[in-house]
Amino acid sequence: HSVDGNPDLCVTGPCKKEEKKKNLAVPIIAAVVSSVVVLSVLALLWSYRRKQVPKQVARTHLKGSGRSLKLDNRHFTYNEVLNITNNFQTIIGKGGFGTVYHGLLSDGTQVAVKMLSPSSTQGSDEFLTEVQLLMRVHHRNLVSFTAYCNEGTNIGIIYEYMARGNLAEYLSDKRKDTLTWKARLQIAVDAAQGLEYLHHGCKPPIIHRDVKTTNILLNEKMQAKIADFGLSKCFQVENQSQSHLLTTVVGTLGYLDPEYYNCNRLTERSDVFSFGVVLLEIITGRPALIKSEGNAHIIQWVSAFLERGDIRGIVDPRLQGYFNINSGWKAVETAMACVPLNSNQRPTMSHVLMELKECLEIELAYEQSLETQGVLKESRNTFEMSPLGSEIDTMPLAR
C-alpha cells in the first residue's frame, strides 16, 4: 500500500554540510513514524474488516471467479443444515459432487440437501452457477431452489425434495415393476417442457449441458423435473448472428453431442441430442451405453432394428406389447430426429415437445377406445397394479 501526500525526503535549495548532518535525521524519523502509524491503522482496519465483513458476505453473496451473487435471506448456517438433516442421517443420493441428504424444515417441508465434498468434481464455480440458475428459473418441470449454505468448506444447496428419485432408477432392469407406456410418455413430456423453458422461456437462453436420466427427478405424483444445473451455461451472445458458443466440453459420456465434443461448438441443440438419447432410454428401457452389446451406443442399437422395421424389438419388452403401435413409432421417430451428427438437422425443443404431446394424445385416445370396449379394464387389473401408490402408473413384470 502507498501513502498519498508523503513529503519529499530531500529538501531543495543549497545546504551547508554541517546543517545537513544536523537536520537529516528529522525528516527521516518523521517519515518512518508516519509510515508506521499509517500502516498500523491500515492493519487495524484490515483486521476489523476481516472479522466483520465475511459474516455479512456469507449471508448476502457467494463469490467465485470474480462474480458475486446476492441471495437475500436464503442463507442457512451450517448448524441449521445439521439440524434440518438430523446430522446428515438419511442419504438419498451420491455423485461426483458429494452427497445428497433428506431434510425437514421447521414447517414440515421436506427438502433435499446437496453438500459438496472437498474432493468434489463440482467446484465452487459450478456451485455458484447452480445457485444462480436455480434462483433465476421458475417452472413446474424444474426443481425449485430453497436455500444455500456457504461456510468455509461447508458448501451446500437446499432444494425441492423429489420423493420418487430419478428416472434412471425406474428404467433399470433391477426393478420389480416397470413404467407403463403412458407414464413414460408423460415423463418425456414433462422433461421436454422443462428443457423447452430453459431454451425458449429464459433470456438469455440456458443450455443445461448434462441432460441424462439421473438428472430427471420424479416427485410423489411422478411428475418429472430437470435437476442439476452445475454445468449449465447461459447462451449470452455478442451479436444476433452468433449461432454457438465456443467452450470447454463438459457432460456425460453417452449423452454428449458429438459436434460439441469434437468442435467445442455449444448450442441449445446440444441439449436436444442429449434429450434424444434420454428419450431412446425411455422407449427401450436400455441405458445409453449397452454393456451387453459390447458398450454399443443406444442410437446404433435402435438403428439396427429400424432398418428391419421392427418397432416391437425397440420398445421395452417389459411392456409386453401394451402400447399403441402408432404412438410407439412416433416416439421413436421423434427420438431419432434429435440425434443426427449435424446439429442443424436437429429440431428445437419446442418442436420435440409438440411431437411428444401428440404421441401422448394418440396413446390416451387408444386407451380410451379400449376402455370403451371393456378391454383395458381387464388388462389394468392384471398388469397395472401399483405397489407405490395410485398415482403411479407402473405394472409388475411377468414372472
In the 8-state DSSP scheme, what is residue 75? B
- Start-to-end CA distance of the chain, whole Å, equals 78
Is position 114 annotated in a ligand binding site? yes
Helical H segments across the chain, by residue range: 17-23, 25-60, 78-84, 124-136, 167-171, 181-200, 258-263, 268-284, 298-307, 311-314, 325-337, 349-373, 375-383
Q: Which of 173, 190, 210, 228 is catalytic?
A: 210
Q: What are the angstrom distances between the C-alpha of 168 and each of 86, 136, 195, 390?
A: 28, 27, 18, 21
Residue 204: asked if its preceding bond is cis (omega within 30°), the reply is yes
What contacts 53, CB < 8 A, 6 or more positions away? none
Active site residue 210: yes
Annotated binding site: 114
Active site residues per annotation:
210
Annotated binding site for ATP: 114
